[in-house]
Structure 1
Amino acid sequence: MKYKLLSALLFPFVLLAQGYTSYFTGNSTNITTNTENGICLMGGATEHDNAMRWLLQKANGGDIVVLRCTGSNGYNDYLYTDLGIAVNSVETLVITSVAGATNPYVLDKVAKAEMIWFAGGDQYNYVSYFKNNALEDLINQHVNVKHAPIGGTSAGMAILCGKYFSAQNGSVTSAEALSNPYNQYVTLGIDDFLDIPFMQNVTTDTHFDNPDRKGRLVTFLGKMATDYGMRSFGIASNEYVAVCIDSNGKAAVYGDYPNYQEFAYFLQSNCQNTFAPEVCQTNSPLTWNRGGEAVKVYKVPGTMNGTNYFQLSDWQTGFGGTWEHWTANNGALSQTSGTPSTCTLALEDFSKAAVQVYPVPFSDQITISGFENAMIKVYDINAKLIYQKVSSNATVIDTQNYDSGIYTIVIEKNQKAMTRKVIKN
C-alpha cells in the first residue's frame, strides 16, 4: 500500500455539551521535550508516511495533538505506532464550537503539545471556532515561542498561511474564480489568523490535481496584488504530495514521482514595475498576462525521500524542479515553459545581534531597539497576545498595567522571527 491512514477504536472522552470530544492514545503523564521548528503541508489525500516521520521527529518524543472539527480517531494509531517514531501520546480533539475551542481542557492540551496537526474538513470551521480567541493565541505561541512543529492536510493546510482562502461561503472552482475574481465565493483572510514562519505572505491550496485548482489560486494571488498592491505568493500540492519546511525555509517535496505525476507548486507574482493584473474587477474575467510572465511558478516533483526542494528564504533557489509562466487571458489560464525568478524579497533581514530589549527585568516600560519596520508582539505567561504593532527603531511599550511574571516578545521581519523572554518585577 502506497500510503495509509488507519483508524482505531479507542475510548473517547466525550463532552459534547462543551463542544469537543477527546480520543487519547499513549502515556497520560505529560512530558516536555526539546522541539524543533517544522511545517508540513499535505495535499489532501492520505498522508505521505516519510513526510509525517519528518514532522514527528521534530516533536522529539513528546505529546501530539490532532485538531479537527469533524471525524474521530483516525490519526491516533497512525501517529502513535504505525510510523515507527516514538512519541509520548497522541490525542485527537474534535472541536465543534467556540466553546470547545476555548475549553480549559483543550487549551491545556494544546499548550502542552510538542506537535500540532490539523486534519482535513472545512477550513471555515477552523476559522470560525479558533480565530480571535485563546486557542489561536496558543497555536501561534506553539510555533513562534515554543518553536514546535505544526502541519495539516487539505483544510488543515489551507489555514497554515497568512493570506488564506477561508471558504466562508463555500468552495470555489477555477472556472468560477477566473470568470469573476470578486464573486461571493472568493473569500480571503488577510493577516488575521495564524502566524507561521515563512508563510506570512503566502496563500496555500490543496487537491491541486483533483479537481484542478490552478486557476483559482492564480485568481487569489491576482486579487491580492490588485487589492493590496503587493507581490503575492502561493504554495500548492497535488493530493498525495507533502511540502515540509524546515527552520531555514527549505521546502522539501515528498511524493512518489515518477511512478505518479505528483508535484508541488511555488507561485509568485513577477517583480515587474507593474505586476498586478491588467483586468481584475467585479463581474469581469481575469486578465493577468504582463508579457506572458505574470506568475512565475517553480514546479517540483515529489519524491519518496524529499530530495527535491524550493528555498522560501529567497523564493529563487530550488533543486529538481522546472520553471513555468502562468497567465490568465479573459478568464482562461495558460501554462508555458518559463525562466527562473530574479526577484528579491522586499524586506531586508534584520540582525539578531543588533536587537536590544531593556531593561530586564522591567517595571513600567520596556524598550526594543535595533531594527526597522518589524512586527512586535508580546505574549503573557498564558500565551495570550497582549500587544501587537508594526514599529521602527526604537519601540517603547507601556507596561504599567502588566502583572508581574514572565512575558515573551516576538520580533518578526522578512518572514523570520526571533524571541526574547523577559520578566516584570
Structure 2
Amino acid sequence: MFSTKRLPGLLHPAALCLLALGLALTGANALADSAAVRNGYEYYQVGDLKATRPGATEPALLLMGGGEWPHQAFAWLAAKGGHGHFLILRASGDDDLQKELYHDVGGVASVQTLVFHSRAAASDPRVLEIVRRADGIFIAGGDQANYVRFWKGTPLNALLDQHVAAGKPIGGSSAGLAILGGHAYGALDGGSITSEEALADPLGEGVTLVDGFLHMPRLQQVITDTHFDARARQGRLIAFLARLRHEGHRDVVGLGVDEGTVLAVDGNGIGRVFTLTDGFAWLLRPQGQPERIEAGKPLDYRDVRVTGIGTQSRIDLRSLDVARPVFEAIADVRDGKLNLRRGVAAAGPQR
C-alpha cells in the first residue's frame, strides 16, 4: 500500500488532485478570457456569482467627479443594489476598481468587470447576459469618446437604459459621469477642450456634444461635467449650456462635480454630497439665451446662476431646488472671459 506520508519531492495524493483541479480551472478561465479578447473585451470577476442577493434593489444615481473614491458613497451604492452583484464597465484599465469595491468597500456579493476595446463587444451575447444580470452598474473613468463610439445605438446601450428602468442603481466617475446626462460632452475631437477654448468659440468643432445616448431619470435636461474645480471647468460648462440653448434646448441646466466628490441621488430625486476633498456639486442655471453666440467668435452670456451643493445641502432634481446651499453666485461671460461673482449662503462655507 502506498504510504500517505509526504515523500521527498512528492506531493500528497489529495494535494495532487487539488493541483490538477486548479490547473483545469485556470485553463478554462484562460480559454474564456481568450475568447473575450477575441471578441473585443476583457473580463474579470471576484466573489460568489451564484450567491443570493441579500436585499432588494432601489433606483439610484451615483455621480462622481473623478479622483479617489469616497467609500461611504460606494457603501450607499452597494445598499441600493441590495448588497448583490455589481458590474464595472470601462474602456481602459483592468480590475483595480473591482478589487476596491469588493475588498475595501465591501458589502457586495460579487463584482465583475468588462473592459471594452471595440464596438462589437457591445453586441456580444456573453457581455449582454452579464449586464442583464447585474444588480448595480458603475461606469469607470477614462475617455468618454470610447463609450460613445463603442456603445451608442448598440444592444448594450438599450440594456443600460433597461437596467435603470427596472429600478436598479447606476453610477459613473469622470468619463463615466460625462455620459450619464441627457446631453453629454463626447470629447470626440480627440482631446479635452478647456474653458478658454470653449468660451472662445462655443459653436466650434471642438465642442462635441452628444444627445440621445443614455436616458437616466432626472438627468434628461442636464449636461454634466467632471474634475470641475480642479480643472477650472466652469467656463466650458457655460459654453456647453450656451450652445445647447442656442440649438433649442431651452430648459437644459449644468451639473458639475468636483474630484473626490459624489452626488448621490435616491429614487425620489433627492441628492446629497459625499466628499474626500471638501468638494462640491455645482448647479448652473442660465436665465435666458446667450447675448452673442456666433461661429468663430467668443461668447457673451450674462446672468448664469451658480449654486454650490455641499455635504449639508440637499438638491431636489425634480424642481432643482437646493436646500442649505454652500454658496450662490452669478456667472457673466463677456468676450469669452468668465467672471464669477460669488457670495456665501446662509449655510456657511464648507471649505
TM-score, normalised with respect to structure 2: 0.85
1:281 and 2:294 matched = yes
1:264, distance to aligned residue in structure 2 (A): 1.3
1:216 — aligned with what? 236
Secondary structure of the residue aligned to 1:228 is: coil
1:322 and 2:342 matched = no
1:337, distance to aligned residue in structure 2 (A): 3.4
Secondary structure of the residue aligned to 1:242 is: strand
**Matches of 1:74 and 1:113, distance apart in 2:** 19
The 8 Å contact of residues 20 and 95 in structure 1, kept in 2 or not, is answered as: yes
Looking at secondary structure, tell me which structure has more helix per residue.
2
The 8 Å contact of residues 161 and 195 in structure 1, kept in 2 or not, is answered as: yes
The 8 Å contact of residues 326 and 344 in structure 2, kept in 1 or not, is answered as: no
1:212-247 CA-to-partner distances (Å, cap 9, x unmatched) read 111000000011111115132011111111111111
1:386-416 CA-to-partner distances (Å, cap 9, x unmatched) read xxxxxxxxxxxxxxxxxxxxxxxxxxxxxxx
**Matches of 2:260 and 2:344, distance apart in 1:** 27
1:80, distance to aligned residue in structure 2 (A): 1.3
1:44 — aligned with what? 66
* CA pair 314-218 structure 1, distance change in 2 beyond 3 A: same
1:333 and 2:338 matched = yes
1:300 and 2:309 matched = yes
1:64 and 2:86 matched = yes
Of the three residues 137, 159, 184, the one matched with 1:138 is 159
**Matches of 1:130 and 1:31, distance apart in 2:** 30
* CA pair 58-16 structure 1, distance change in 2 beyond 3 A: same
**Matches of 1:326 and 1:149, distance apart in 2:** 33
1:139, distance to aligned residue in structure 2 (A): 0.3
* CA pair 71-229 structure 1, distance change in 2 beyond 3 A: closer
- Amino acid paired to 1:132: G
1:193-227 CA-to-partner distances (Å, cap 9, x unmatched) read 10000000000000112221110000000111111
The 8 Å contact of residues 31 and 63 in structure 1, kept in 2 or not, is answered as: no
1:103 and 2:103 matched = no
1:30, distance to aligned residue in structure 2 (A): 6.0
Secondary structure of the residue aligned to 1:186 is: coil
1:180 and 2:210 matched = no
2:169 — aligned with what? 149
1:90 and 2:107 matched = no
**Matches of 2:325 and 2:275, distance apart in 1:** 13
* CA pair 30-138 structure 1, distance change in 2 beyond 3 A: farther
1:84, distance to aligned residue in structure 2 (A): 3.3
1:327, distance to aligned residue in structure 2 (A): 1.5
1:248, distance to aligned residue in structure 2 (A): 1.1
**Matches of 1:74 and 1:128, distance apart in 2:** 24
State the structure with bigger RCO (CA 8 A, min sep 6), 1 or 2: 2
* CA pair 229-21 structure 1, distance change in 2 beyond 3 A: closer
**Matches of 1:135 and 1:30, distance apart in 2:** 24
1:113 and 2:134 matched = yes
**Matches of 2:320 and 2:205, distance apart in 1:** 31
Of the three residues 240, 264, 270, the one matched with 2:281 is 264
2:39 — aligned with what? 18
1:31, distance to aligned residue in structure 2 (A): 4.2
Secondary structure of the residue aligned to 1:168 is: coil
The 8 Å contact of residues 262 and 275 in structure 2, kept in 1 or not, is answered as: yes
The 8 Å contact of residues 130 and 136 in structure 1, kept in 2 or not, is answered as: yes
1:156, distance to aligned residue in structure 2 (A): 0.2
The 8 Å contact of residues 157 and 205 in structure 1, kept in 2 or not, is answered as: yes
TM-score, normalised with respect to structure 1: 0.71
Secondary structure of the residue aligned to 1:78 is: helix
**Matches of 1:285 and 1:232, distance apart in 2:** 21
1:369-395 CA-to-partner distances (Å, cap 9, x unmatched) read xxxxxxxxxxxxxxxxxxxxxxxxxxx
- Amino acid paired to 1:54: W
- Amino acid paired to 2:332: T
Q: RMSD over aligned Cα, in angstroms?
A: 1.8
Looking at secondary structure, tell me which structure has more strand per residue.
1
Identity %, equivalent residues: 35
Residue pairs, 1:161-180, within 5 angstroms: 161-169=181-189, 170-180=191-201
- Amino acid paired to 2:339: S
Secondary structure of the residue aligned to 1:157 is: helix
Greater C-alpha Rg: 2
1:231 — aligned with what? 251
User: Structure 1 stretches of 5 or more lacking a match?
Assistant: 1-9, 341-425
1:269-305 CA-to-partner distances (Å, cap 9, x unmatched) read 12xxxx100001101100001xxx2x1111123x4xx
**Matches of 1:262 and 1:100, distance apart in 2:** 36
1:28, distance to aligned residue in structure 2 (A): 2.8
1:240 — aligned with what? 260
1:122 and 2:143 matched = yes
Secondary structure of the residue aligned to 1:183 is: coil
**Matches of 1:333 and 1:154, distance apart in 2:** 23
The 8 Å contact of residues 229 and 276 in structure 1, kept in 2 or not, is answered as: no
**Matches of 1:281 and 1:261, distance apart in 2:** 38
Secondary structure of the residue aligned to 1:57 is: helix
1:339, distance to aligned residue in structure 2 (A): 10
Of the three residues 95, 103, 108, the one matched with 1:73 is 95
